[in-house]
Amino acid sequence: MEMHQVRYFLAVAEHLNFTRAAERLHVAQPSLTRAIQKLEDELGGPLFRRERAHTHLTELGRLMQPHLRAALEAAETAKRQAQSFRKRETGQLTIGACSTIAAETGAPLLSAVSAEIAGLTLQVEIGPSAAIEERLIAGEVDAALLAPLGEAGGRHERFDLRPIAEDMFCVAFAPGHRFEAQGELVLEDLDGEPLIVRLGCRHEEAIAAAMEARGINRVARHASADERWLAGLVREGLGCILWPESIARARQLPFRPLADLPLCHRVVLPTVAGRRHSPALAVLVRRAAARASPERRRATDRVA
Nearest to residue 188, comparing CAs of 166, 170, 211? Answer: 211
What letter would DSSP give residue 92? E
Mean of the pLDDT values across residues 33-54? 88
Q: What is the mean pLDDT of the chain?
A: 86
Strand partners, 159: 272
The per-residue pLDDT for 266 is: 87
pLDDT bracket for residue 33 (50, 70, 90): very high
CATH homologous superfamily of 90-164+266-303 equals: Periplasmic binding protein-like II (3.40.190.10)
Are 93 and 114 within 8 A, CB to CB? no
Q: Is the pLDDT of residue 143 over 90?
A: yes
Fold (topology level) of 3-86? Arc Repressor Mutant, subunit A (1.10.10)
For 261, other C-beta atoms within 10 Å of its C-beta total 19
pLDDT digits (tens, 9 = 90+) for 68-94: 999 988 888 777 776 665 655 567 899
The pLDDT score that the predictor gives to residue 297 is: 41
Percent of the chain with pLDDT over 70: 90
Chain segment 223-270, per-residue pLDDT in tens: 998 889 999 999 999 999 999 998 899 899 999 999 988 888 889 999
Contact criterion met (CB below 8 Å) for 293 and 167: no
CB within 8 Å of 187: residues ≥ 6 apart: 210, 211, 214, 216, 258, 260, 261
Q: Which residue ranges make up each domain of the chain?
A: 3-86, 90-164+266-303, 166-264
Distances (CA, A) of 152 to 106, 162, 243: 20, 11, 21
Q: Which helix (H) or strand (E) holds 171?
A: strand 159-172
Alpha-carbon gap, residue 240 to 236, rounded angstroms: 10
The reply to whether 3-86 and 90-164+266-303 are identical in fold is no
Contacts of 53 (CB under 8 A, 6+ apart): none
Q: Domain 166-264 class?
A: alpha beta
Distance CA 119, CA 100 (A): 29
What was the pLDDT predicted at 75?
84
> Is the predicted pLDDT of residue 152 greater than 50, yes or no?
no
Type of residue numbered 185 = L
Question: Which pLDDT does position 203 carry in this prediction?
Answer: 85
CA 301 vs CA 84, 90, 207, 229, 304: distances in Å: 42, 38, 23, 31, 5
Judged by DSSP in three states, 237 sits in coil
What pTM value is reported for the model? 0.60
DSSP H helical segments within 87-239, as ranges?
Answer: 103-116, 129-138, 202-213, 227-235
Looking at the DSSP bridge assignments, the partners of residue 266 are 166
What pLDDT, on a 0 to 100 scale, did the predictor assign at position 195? 96
Paired sense of beta strands 90-98 and 119-127, if any: parallel
- Rounded to 5 degrees, what angle do the CA atoms 292, 164, 166 make? 100
Contacts of 129 (CB under 8 A, 6+ apart): 98, 100, 146, 147, 148, 200, 202
The percent of residues above 90 in pLDDT, for the chain, comes to: 50
